Chains A and B, each alone.
Chain A
Amino acid sequence: DTEVTQTPKHLVMGMTNKKSLKCEQHMGHRAMYWYKQKAKKPPELMFVYSYEKLSINESVPSRFSPECPNSSLLNLHLHALQPEDSALYLCASSQDEDGANYGYTFGSGTRLTVV
């Protein structure tokens, strides 16, 4: 298995809803990442988990809450989002902390719309 799987592919949620995005990989990668990508823009790093510990939080608002229950799974919990949070959320993984040794593997993303 050489994939990063993200679910759901599309999500529409209201500003008062609570939802979660899920990311899964079975490649034995020990670092996992969340990126946010607005339309026609590059991905922006949100969070980095390294060996299941949060190592980077790029000043992301608290309405985004990451969780790494085990080495294969990464969640992003969403609560009280704003319409400007509508974007493509990409998950990625890398074999080790120095992700460039073997490159990063990306999922296909979750297209989130906040109404």
Chain B
Amino acid sequence: AQTVTQSQPEMSVQEAETVTLSCTYDTSESDYYLFWYKQPPSRQMILVIRQEAYKQQNATENRFSVNFQKAAKSFSLKISDSQLGDAAMYFCAYHMYSGGGADGLTFGKGTHLIIQP
């Protein structure tokens, strides 16, 4: 079974600074996808960024970027120029490519990100 581990229950960063959230995972598969989702107090899970395992290039979405180390099974999220609106619970998630079946996501336990004004 796949597992996703987020070792930082809570992180705090000053507004405009950079913060990195850690995520490691365990899988025996070679084709899979990794995601970072954000869940603010409004409860809706919002996709922040996704990474396909077969792509070596790290994904980037505006102020959000990942450091994907496939051999080390590591997938960290870097948030640059942190803004107050970035405050939320961040979940790292794994999806196995099954080639024909919908499997859903396996989530880590989450990291609560606090932005200090």
Residues on B with C-beta less than 8 A from A108 are 42-44
Q: Which of B13-21, B68-76, B80-88, B98-106 contacts the other chain?
A: B98-106
| A42, A90, A100, A108: most-surrounded residue (chain B CB, <10 A) | A100
Q: What is the number of residues of chain B that contact chain A, defined by CB distance less than 8 Å?
A: 27
Q: Which of A48, A90, A92, A96 contacts B103 (CB 8 A)?
A: A48
How many A-B contacts at CB < 8 Å in the complex? 75
Q: Is B101 a contact partner of A55 (Cβ separation < 8 A)?
A: yes
Interface residues on A, range: 20 to 34
Closest partner residue, chain B, to A92 (CB atom): B45
Against A, the Cβ 8 Å flags (1 = close, 0 = not) of B58-95 are: 00000000000000000000000000000000010001
Query: Which B residues fall within an 8 A CB radius of A?
Result: 33, 35, 37, 42-47, 50, 52, 91, 95, 97-110
Residues of A whose CB lies within 8 Å of any CB of B are 31, 33, 35, 40-45, 48-50, 55-56, 88, 90, 92, 94, 96-100, 103-109, 111
